[in-house]
Structure 1
Amino acid sequence: MATTFVLAGGCYWCLDAAYRVLRGITRVHSCFTGGTTPNPSYELVCTGSTGHAEAVEVTFDESVIPAEVVLDAFFTMHDPRQLNRQGHDIGTQYRSAMFYADEDQREAFESAKDRANEYWGGGVVTEITPLNTVYPGPEEHQDFFAKNPSQGYCLAVAVPKVNKVRAGFAEYLL
């Protein structure tokens, strides 16, 4: 059974790359959601004026990887204590957020946030809000790390996040 979560935790290139190393993840799609501007461009989202977050739609097979693992990996691959930023990426478009499609997802997200608060020692600022319209990110941003493995940002920011997921979730690696 396929399930899709929409999650935001900084630059979507990093989340995309980190999720792609896990067995049972069947699709990762970079997108924008959570704002008010219809059909925003990447450049417009980067201004922080749209209200949208850079996010990923993560589709996975729960018979291979449990939803709890997908969510715990999310809280491992970024620092959910940073408000409206991840490292040098600053602005509401880089916020930590979970967008739920139904009540079951909301409850799963709340439980995962509680586990993250224990893991991080408190202070998790991840917002949990209803999912609204999801707009696709540019095609050149889909699977960005695989297409640009020597790009400076990927080496400096994405690789450490991928490595954290590899270390923390070794039993689910491809």
Structure 2
Amino acid sequence: MDNPYKVLGVNENASQDEIKRAYRELVKKYHPDKYVNNPLKNLAEEKMREINEAYDYLTKNSQNSTYSNSGSSYANNNSSADYYSIRNDLNRGDVSSAERKLNSINSQDAEWFFLMGNVYARKGWYDNALNYIQKACNMNPGNREYMAALQNLQMMNNSYRRPYNMRGYSDRDSSFCDLCVSLWCADTLCNCMGGGC
């Protein structure tokens, strides 16, 4: 599904009431309970998933952002549909498709930087991911999703950068291990020298 507005059958300037009304009508029409003993049950379930995703996306975006040019991630209605498609690609694990679509978008707003950061994170390029998501947070500091992703990446990046002896082991634990290895080596050498080899 590429455009949540099309899925719900409303135009891109629809109010929240119009979106809610369209959603309710579609739920009544495609609810799987109406297709219990019907071969179309799986199709109805898939359609309901698509309808729910579109509705969640449109209602979430209306609560977390404004549709203005004030640096918001949803300033352009066309890019919100593109971003929805890119998020679907990332959820399916199709990172190359998501990256290709992001590179074709001309305006780089907060959502663009956030999604590109996710592309890099999925590739395992955490430094790049951190830079992009940090930029998204700077552009839209009130977005909780961006901030949570930034905090998760910072924790991952910090644990990745810590030296081996700092990963859950204190220096005392390390010294104890060194002592044990030294004793084992001494015992082995003594046995070999004493004729036990």
Q: TM-score range by the shorter chain?
A: under 0.3
* Structure of higher CA gyration radius: 2
Query: Where is the helix percentage greater, Structure 1 or Structure 2?
Result: 2
Query: Where is the strand percentage greater, Structure 1 or Structure 2?
Result: 1
Higher relative contact order structure (alpha carbons within 8 Å, sequence separation ≥ 6): 1
Using structure 2 for the length normalisation, give the TM-score: 0.23
Using structure 1 for the length normalisation, give the TM-score: 0.25
